[in-house]
Amino acid sequence: MSSTLKNDRYLKALLKEPVDCTPVWMMRQAGRYLPEYRELRAQAGDFMSLCKNPELACEVTLQPLRRFDLDAAILFSDILTIPDALGLGLYFSTGEGPCFERPIQNTADINKLAVFDPEIELGYVMDAVRTIRTALAGQVPLIGFSGSPWTLATYMIEGGSSKAFTKIKKMCYSDPDALHKLLDLLADCVIVYLNAQIKAGAQSVMIFDTWGGVLSQSCYLEFSLRYMQKIVDGLIQSHENRIVPVTLFTKNGGQWLSHIAATGCHAVGIDWTTELDTARAQIGSQVSLQGNMDPSVLYAPKERIESEVQRLLAQYGKGTGHIFNLGHGIHLDVNPEHAKIFIDAVHTYSKPYHLP
């Protein structure tokens, strides 16, 4: 497994080192909007069978790289692998998304959980990371990832997806000690899980705090950011003679930028509700920024996509420290040709912003 990279502008931008143009990748770039993905998933039978087969997970990871000039690959997996490894009985119900047979309801349920060995319970993920790194052959870096403790806990307590998050918020206020116990355990799980991904070959890691934005500020700091801070502190800092950069992304978390940047992470992900120039003025001297085009822009015609890319590049301005991305995952009914227009536009129009 070679550590030599043909294209390392993504890693350089994360560390605020000079680049020739702004790097770009897309959240959920390997997934349902690609016909070749849908074909492979049909062959696999279901989503988790795809995730648990390292060769198929590798193929899915590589599919968008064959179509687009992306600056990074991201491991094809799911944030719910951790609660699945904890024995909660993950299954996917048609039209409902992820569900758990044994959701967490009280302290007694939490006491049954224990940190696992990621090479055993989640060995299929580590095998996928190793397989992907070999197959990439240094083309671009590989991003590993996990859900944040808070986001994982929402699924584990709600029993699946939720709109109001009443069960976990009830625990926030009626039994905070129990919730802290669960979140602390989940932070330990994420640390061993991401460190195992790094040892297996992930060259950067990202923590998705998809549901942190549903909290008040005081609850966000207490129940979400506190545990992401613990993870940042516990991660392997360098591997293969390189720094392993960490990106934190809280959807709808733009009001907490300074708090997130203070964790010691290398980059902060922002969604389309936060302006790039505002974020750069607040925290751009501390960290790099990832984001932040509204994924729905990809429904637009070519000229509109290109003008939005140009607007956001101008908003960030000159210099490194920006990783262009969508503000959340690409929608499943987007035309892949529109994704190509977006990616090519970032490279084309960003070059003047990186001239000496």
Catalytic residue numbers read 28, 32, 41, 78, 155
Using DSSP bridges, classify how beta strands 322-326 and 288-293 pair: parallel, antiparallel or unpaired.
parallel
Structure token pair of residue 111: 């006491």
78 is an annotated ligand-binding site residue: yes
The secondary element (H helix, E strand) that includes residue 354 is: none
28 is an annotated ligand-binding site residue: yes
How far is residue 41's CA from residue 164's CA, in Å, rounded to a whole number?
Answer: 31
Report the amino acid identity of residue 234. G
32 is an annotated ligand-binding site residue: yes
193 is an annotated ligand-binding site residue: no
Name residue 48's beta-bridge partners: none
Could you write out the three-class secondary structure of 200-244? Answer: HCCCEEEEEECCHHHCCHHHHHHHHHHHHHHHHHHCCCEECCEEC
271 is an annotated ligand-binding site residue: no
Structure token pair of residue 24: 């770009």
Cβ pair 293, 309 in contact under 8 A:
yes
29 is an annotated ligand-binding site residue: yes
Cβ pair 281, 315 in contact under 8 A:
no
304 is an annotated ligand-binding site residue: no
Q: Which long-range contacts (CB under 8 A, 24 or more apart) does 159-165 make?
A: 159/99, 159/100, 159/103, 160/93, 160/96, 160/97, 160/98, 160/99, 160/100, 160/103, 161/96, 161/97, 161/98, 165/211, 165/214
Binding-site residues for substrate? 28-32, 78, 155, 210, 328
Binding-site residues? 28-32, 78, 155, 210, 328
